[in-house]
Amino acid sequence: MGAVLGYIATLGVYFFIYNIFCLGLNIQFGYAGILDFTVITFMAIAGYFAGVAVLGPPQRGSEIFYILGLNLPWPIALVIGVVAAGTLGFLIGLVALRRLRSDYLAIVTLASGSIVYGIVNNDNKIFDGAAGLVGVPQPYTSIFGFNPNTYTWYFLIICAVMMLLCWFVAERIYRSPLGRTMRAIREDMDVAEAFGKDAFRVRMLAMVLGCMMVGVGGVLTLAYVSALSPAGWSTGETFVIWAALIVGGRANNLGAIVGSFLVAVLFNEATRFLPTIPGDPNLISNIRNMCIGGLVILTLWLRPQGVIPERKARFAELPTAAKRRPPGESLVTLGSVDSVG
């Protein structure tokens, strides 16, 4: 019984973490139209930096090397990780968000991701190369207790709180003039600029905010699994997040939530526990990734707007609206020149 509950809690943790990833990508792609094809890199960088902030300095002669090793408490590590992800996003944005065509932007993100992956994987002085960070202490085990089944439930609460925080930020932005300007830039950048919007600033804001949010998810991932190595953040992982957002419905945060449930939890995480096929240990994961790639293509074909499409903006009607022309009468055919001055 405890094991089943623990399993459900684990899925819950992944659900919230993927919510956070999707909310972050939604700000970039759904709001501002930025094709970030390396979302997972920001998750990883945040995780790594938080990890080396929490871990103590590497033992001498242990053949394990990593930078920093600061022995800091988790809240500070969270900040460090999130800032690191935001900084990387800013640097990539400096190149990618100049007025480049959207395919170039996608190429820059993809290429940056490969480069970061190559560096982290090959240089074993930064985050211990291909071995990665292991044995990162989970947060607050002394308070919550070490029993993995009950601990997961506490961790679930942390994830839920973080997710609500991200949800709040994402929704606030969407409903604000800032979110509206982001969407205008997504629709037509030249026009938005001709109307005085600094597209570079606004897109950079979306990029960095999105990266930081993904970073929050990254730190939570590391805190939960207490290890992170390059094998855990390949291109395929980026695609899970993309698939979740596309399936759920881009530019709609509710869609991001629904998508991360359908794709990241129901499909991806559930199949992770299927037995491996003897003789070919990777086949299950290959088939899963094929399905995710196919799912995105199918969604774009069958329901391009996703399960929950972007909602139409509604403004509360003002009292003065009553004195306007009744609908249907005032279309283009009706002159309105004399209504003023």
Partner 1 sequence: MSGDGSAGASIVTAPVVGSTPRAGGMLVVDGLVRHFGGVKAVDGCSFEIKPGTISALIGPNGAGKTTTVNLIAGALRSDRGRIVFNGSDLTGKRPHQIAEQGLVRTFQISREYASMTVLENLMVSPLHQSGERLLNVLFRPGRWRNEERQHLERSLEVLDEFGLYAKRDDYAGSLSGGQKRLLELARAVMAAPKMLLLDEPLAGINPALTARVADHIERLREGGITFLLVEHNLEIVERICDHVVVMALGATLATGTMADLRKNDAVVQAYLTGGGI
Partner 2 sequence: MSLFLLSLGFGIVTAAVLALSSVGLSLQFGVTNFVNFAYGAYLGFGMFLTYTLASLLHFPLWLSVVLGCILTGVLAVVIDLVILEPFVRRRTSGFFMLIVTFGLQLLLLNIIQAVWGVGFQSFTSGSGSPITIGPFSFTADQLGIVALAVVAMVGIHLLLTRTTLGKSMRAMSDDPSLAKVSGIDTARVTLWTWFISGCLAGLGGVTLALNTVSFQAYTGNNFLFVIFAAVILGGIGKIYGAMLGALCIGLVVEVSGVWLSSAYKLDVAFGVLVLVLLVRPQGIIPTLGKA
Is 6 a residue that touches partner 1 (CB under 8 A)? no
By the rule CB under 8 A, 173 interacts with partner 1:
yes
Residue closer to partner 1 (CB basis): 159 or 182: 182
Query: Does 236 help bind partner 2 (rule: CB under 8 A)?
Result: yes
CA distance 47 to 136: 11
Nearest by Cα to 105 from 28, 216, 41, 40: 28
Helix (H) or strand (E) holding 198: none
- For residues 166-200, one letter each, b for 16 or more C-beta atoms within 10 angstroms of the residue's C-beta and e for the rest, the string is bbebbeebbeeeebebbbbbbeebeebbeeebebb
With contacts defined by CB under 8 A, name the span among 86-94, 154-162, 220-228, 318-326 that binds partner 1.
318-326
Give yes or no for a contact between 52 and 67, defined as CB atoms under 8 angstroms apart: yes
- Compute the least distance from the CB of residue 134 to partner 2, in Å: 22
Complex with partner 2: residue 38 or 253, whichever CB lies closer: 38
Residues 257-296 that bind partner 2 (CB under 8 A): 280, 282-283, 286-287, 289-290, 292-294, 296
According to the binding rule CB under 8 A, does residue 242 interact with partner 2? yes
Instruction: Please say which residue, 301 or 315, places its beta carbon nearer to partner 2.
Output: 301
Cβ atoms < 10 Å from Cβ of 336: 9
CA pair distance 101, 228, nearest whole angstrom: 34
Alpha-carbon distance of 263 to 243, in angstroms, equals: 7
Q: Which of 164, 195, 272, 276 binds partner 1 (CB under 8 A)?
A: 195
Please name the residues in contact with 25: beta carbons below 8 A apart, sequence gap of 6 or more: 36, 39, 210, 214, 241, 242, 245, 256
> Measured from the CB atom, is 7 or 195 closer to partner 1?
195
Q: Does 328 bind partner 1 (CB under 8 A)?
A: yes
Instruction: Take residue 98 and report the two structure tokens written for it.
Output: 């100049």
Two tokens, residue 222: 């590391």
Q: Interface with partner 1 includes 62 (CB under 8 A)?
A: no
Angle subtended by helix axes 235-248 and 2-25, to nearest 10: 80
Q: At closest approach, how far in Å is the CB of 184 from partner 1?
A: 4
Near partner 1 by CB under 8 A, which window of 69-77, 198-206, 239-247, 267-275? 198-206
Task: Build a one-symbol-per-residue string for 76-115: x at contacts with partner 2 by CB under 8 A, - elsewhere.
Answer: -------------------x--x-xxxxx-xxx-xxx-xx
Alpha helices per DSSP H over 55-198: 74-96, 102-122, 141-144, 148-174, 177-187, 189-194
Contacting residues toward partner 1, per CB under 8 A:
169, 172-173, 176-181, 183-184, 187-188, 190-199, 202, 205, 209, 310, 312-315, 318, 320-321, 324-337, 339-341
Contacting residues toward partner 2, per CB under 8 A:
33, 35, 37, 95, 98, 100-104, 106-108, 110-112, 114-115, 118-119, 122, 235-236, 239, 242-243, 246, 280, 282-283, 286-287, 289-290, 292-294, 296-297, 300-301, 304
